[in-house]
Chains A and B, each alone.
Chain A
Amino acid sequence: MKHTLIHLNASPYTSLACKEGLDLALVLATFEQPVDLCLSGAAVAILSDNQQPTPEHGKNLHKLLAGLEFYDIENVYIEKANAQLESNTTWQGVQPLDEVEWQTMFSQYQQVFRF
């Protein structure tokens, strides 16, 4: 069985990319395929608490994070360099990786899809 990494890099509110990437992760998990997530760039905004997007902004993807464990999606990685994530106003289920760990992570999967 292939181990898949879904890499989210787009802002959750400027396009559908984050949403459709998460949709793919949830479908993979529903089909019992092992899948992990990693976030970089504007996509880390999804982690911030107390988001109140309007319908024009799009769906509140932050709310999906709490449900990931029910899909057995247990690993959500970010780079430690994202300093703002040290605060207690972000979702705490992420695993920060240092630069070397982050770079080696990508070769540990049979397939990586980017959104």
Chain B
Amino acid sequence: MQYTLLITGSPYQSKACHSALRFIKAAVSKYPNSIKGVFFYEDAVLVGSQIAQPPRDEINLTKEWQDIAEQQNIPLYLCIAAAVRRGIINENESRRYALEQHTLAKNFQLEGLGTLVDLMNTTHKIIQFR
């Protein structure tokens, strides 16, 4: 059984990103290849910001996601439209909008909703965290 996770809850207003992280850790500890990918939509894309600085005595959610993505080779997709409107911008988009900075954290990538549709059709189940 392979899962895709759709995360829509804000990392600041909900525990969606935290719960999904716990789910992934539990899933891969038993079935290493059970997560096909993670798609962040709505305010959940804020987790892909490289410039947010949580207090040092709190969880660094972005880093936790980067670590699990690297360790388990899990792709982390941010909806490009949702991300760009919230200021999460990669180098390409930065050039497109003639900006001087980019804010997308390493190990995250911007993709269209078509990528989510593709994931829906190639995994057994999608689980939404909101």
A positions within 8 Å CB-CB of B: 1-2, 4, 16-17, 20, 23-24, 27-28, 31, 33, 111, 113-115
Q: Chain B 106-124 against A: per-residue CB contact (8 Å), 1 yes, 0 no?
A: 0000001110110011000
B positions within 8 Å CB-CB of A: 6, 8, 41-42, 81-82, 112-114, 116-117, 120-121, 125-126, 128, 130
Give Cα A109–Cα B117 distance, bound, in whole angstroms: 15
Residues in B whose Cβ lies below 8 Å from that of A16: 42
Residues in A whose Cβ lies below 8 Å from that of B126: 111, 113
Q: Are B128 and A113 in contact (CB under 8 A)?
A: yes
Interface of A is mostly: mixed
Residues in A whose Cβ lies below 8 Å from that of B116: 24, 27
Least Cβ–Cβ distance between A49 and chain B, in angstroms: 27
Residues in B whose Cβ lies below 8 Å from that of A28: 117
Give Cα A33–Cα B122 distance, bound, in whole angstroms: 13
| Known A113-B128, A114-B128; contact A1-B82, beta-carbon cutoff 8 A | no
Contact residue among B6, B42, B120 (Cβ-Cβ distance under 8 Å from A17): B42
Q: Are A2 and B121 in contact (CB under 8 A)?
A: yes
Q: Are B117 and A20 in contact (CB under 8 A)?
A: no
Least Cβ–Cβ distance between B73 and chain A, in angstroms: 25
Q: Are B81 and A23 in contact (CB under 8 A)?
A: yes
Closest to B117 in A: A31
Q: Are B113 and A24 in contact (CB under 8 A)?
A: yes
Residues in B whose Cβ lies below 8 Å from that of A20: 8, 41-42, 82
Residues in A whose Cβ lies below 8 Å from that of B6: 113
Residues in B whose Cβ lies below 8 Å from that of A111: 120, 125-126
Least Cβ–Cβ distance between B78 and chain A, in angstroms: 13
Give Cα A2–Cα B119 distance, bound, in whole angstroms: 11
Give Cα A2–Cα B113 distance, bound, in whole angstroms: 16
Residues in B whose Cβ lies below 8 Å from that of A23: 81, 113
Least Cβ–Cβ distance between B34 and chain A, in angstroms: 18
| Known A20-B82, A111-B126; contact A27-B8, beta-carbon cutoff 8 A | no
Residues in B whose Cβ lies below 8 Å from that of A2: 120-121
| Known A31-B114, A113-B128; contact A24-B41, beta-carbon cutoff 8 A | yes
| Known A2-B120, A113-B6, A113-B128; contact A27-B114, beta-carbon cutoff 8 A | yes
